[in-house]
Amino acid sequence: MSGSSNNNDGSATVYLGHVIDPVDEGNYRDIPDGALVVSKTGKIEAVGKWSDLCKQYSTGCEIVDCGRKLIMPGLIDMHIHLPQVTQIGKSGDTLLGWLEKYIFPAEARFKDLSHAEKIAAWFFDELACNGTTLAVIFTTIHKEATDAAFRIAAQKGARAIMGKVMMDKNAPGDLIENTQNSLNESEELANKWHGHDGGRLLYAFTPRFAVTATDELLDQCGKLWQNNPGTYMHTHLSESAEEVKKVAAMFPQSRSYLDVYDRAGLVGSRSVFAHSIYLDEEDLQVMHKKNCALAHCPSSNFFLKSGIFPIDRVKRAGVEFGLASDVAGGPQMSMFGVMKDANFIQPQIWISPRELFYRATRGSARALKLEDQLGSLEAGKEADFIIVDPTLKNACPKDILEHETDEILSTIVFIGDDRMIDSTYIRGRQVFKRQDVNGKATKPQEETELHKVRGGKK
């Protein structure tokens, strides 16, 4: 049990259920008759057995009884493209050909602000219903569309690390920026949104990838990032063999693809590199030394046949990484599906459900330098959590919640999707609640789940 030593002042909400909380890649806390206590400020006040906490918190608190449902930390998506949600499932051939055929035209439409606002609203709703409580997001080159995305995220209570895409070469004409304008607009957006609402929204400088950037853009972006401490740098790295070959031809002075970014000052703590498949040992040593984060995108790598993330080599090198959907290269926003694909794509390595759960929660928070705030259910952290009900999916045994916890975890990892998410909370605020076929809450809060307790035990 962990929690506050102060007496309850009647302002907390207690969620009762089966708490499953990651500790590391091989272990988790398992509290079948657990309680998660959330303060009115959206922080976790205590976690433990309800039998240990009930004396302190049963008087004057709101009690949300989730029965046997699972209470888990919110899922983290380390790399996703907001404008690409309209392109999910569009068949590709090669990465670069897929970009030209589907993705760049979809992104060009974000010049229309009304379109950008509509898609952003849909996008953040979809994250919530998939149980994703933090996403690291690419938008487009359009300043107004990116500003709108931040505004809508702020209104909906979403948590995001996000930035305006930067491109000044090798793209369709309507997506190529003036270099200085790209830099100026990125800095203006960072100044406006980074740290919004106590850090719920954070800014990432976002050069798309080396192929679409001049030397000047990369160099100046590196300086801009370093002059804005606490912000992130988010880009693609070594996703496909074709791309790696193209970068080598474009930057003959660089030792490797990673070295292109390193020379520009874009490699360091809070740099997030999506994909990172084709890395040599020197690359991995540099990443470890400079404390980089990798976003492993297994579903996308499957779909675009990009290659296999070298998970064993990355782990041996001590490089931090988490999981990412990479929509629309990845065909789904469910991080449960991404967990499954992370195991399936490895031809000889079995990744346990315990590790996959960790990689989509605490492991991602650790890679993003946010482990002190997010990723697990511990007193003092932000109350980002999900209520999971595996029985909401027809393929799941109806008695699954009575099974051993490892079996439950395996089930949600390997057959889970958005249908298992009962509700999603960010900083203690409910941002999603599953509805039944009649449009009503699956168990109306006011009738069966929310109880005002004024004295004694529930």
Q: State how far the Cα of 370 lies from the Cα of 177, in Å rounded to an integer.
A: 32
pLDDT of residue 450: 34
- Do 271 and 361 belong together in one domain? yes
Per-residue DSSP letter, 434: -
Q: Is 458 within a domain?
A: no
Q: State how far the Cα of 145 lies from the Cα of 162, in Å rounded to an integer.
A: 12
Q: What is the pLDDT of residues 4-48, one digit of tens each?
A: 334 455 589 999 999 999 999 999 999 999 999 999 999 999 999
* Residue range of the domain that includes 404: 2-74+377-452
Residue 416 belongs to a domain with what CATH number?
Answer: 2.30.40.10
Do the beta carbons of residue 417 and residue 393 sit within 8 Å? Answer: yes
Q: Is 457 within a domain?
A: no
Of 33, 71, 63, nearest in space to 49 by CA? 33
**The last residue of a domain, from among 341, 367, 393:** 367
Q: What is the pTM of this model?
A: 0.94
pLDDT of residue 456: 32
**The last residue of a domain, from among 348, 367, 386:** 367
Number of other residues whose CB lies within 10 A of the CB of residue 96: 16
- Do 13 and 155 belong together in one domain? no
- Do 116 and 196 belong together in one domain? yes
Q: Is 14 within a domain?
A: yes
Do the beta carbons of residue 224 and residue 187 sit within 8 Å? Answer: yes
- Do 269 and 135 belong together in one domain? yes
Peptide bond into 328 cis (omega under 30): yes
- Do 237 and 282 belong together in one domain? yes
Q: Extract the tokens encoding 175.
A: 């997506």
- Do 358 and 397 belong together in one domain? no
Angle, nearest 10°, between helix axes 143-156 and 179-193? 20
Those residues of the chain that have pLDDT short of 70 are: 1-10, 92-93, 436-458
In sequence order, which residues have a C-beta less than 8 Å from that of residue 53 and are 6 or more positions away?
Answer: 1, 3, 14, 35, 37, 46
Do the beta carbons of residue 177 and residue 184 sit within 8 Å? Answer: no
pLDDT of residue 354: 98
- Do 362 and 442 belong together in one domain? no
Q: Is 219 within a domain?
A: yes
Q: State how far the Cα of 46 lies from the Cα of 54, in Å rounded to an integer.
A: 11
Number of other residues whose CB lies within 10 A of the CB of residue 269: 12
Q: Phi/psi at 279 (nearest 5 deg)? A: -120, 140
Q: Is 314 within a domain?
A: yes
> How many domains is the chain built from?
2
Per-residue DSSP letter, 8: P
- Do 266 and 415 belong together in one domain? no
Per-residue DSSP letter, 217: H
- Do 163 and 215 belong together in one domain? yes
Q: What is the pLDDT of residues 284-301, one digit of tens each?
A: 999 999 999 999 999 999
Residue 210 belongs to a domain with what CATH number?
Answer: 3.20.20.140
Q: Is 437 within a domain?
A: yes
Q: Is 372 within a domain?
A: no
**The last residue of a domain, from among 367, 390, 419:** 367
- Do 196 and 223 belong together in one domain? yes
DSSP three-state, residue 361: coil
Q: State how far the Cα of 48 lies from the Cα of 34, in Å rounded to an integer.
A: 6
Of 66, 16, 59, 67, nearest in space to 457 by CA? 59
- Do 254 and 347 belong together in one domain? yes
Q: State how far the Cα of 362 lies from the Cα of 23, in Å rounded to an integer.
A: 8
Q: Is 279 within a domain?
A: yes
Q: Extract the tokens encoding 165.
A: 């895409």
In sequence order, which residues have a C-beta less than 8 Å from that of residue 205 and are 6 or more positions away?
Answer: 163, 166, 186, 190, 221, 224, 225, 228, 231, 232, 233, 234
Q: State how far the Cα of 427 lies from the Cα of 382, in Å rounded to an integer.
A: 5
Number of other residues whose CB lies within 10 A of the CB of residue 403: 14
Q: Which helix (H) or strand (E) holds 152?
A: helix 143-156
Q: With 0-12 CB in 10 A as exposed, 13-18 as middle and 19+ as buried, what is 215? A: middle
pLDDT of residue 447: 32
- Do 153 and 273 belong together in one domain? yes
Q: State how far the Cα of 318 lies from the Cα of 342, in Å rounded to an integer.
A: 19
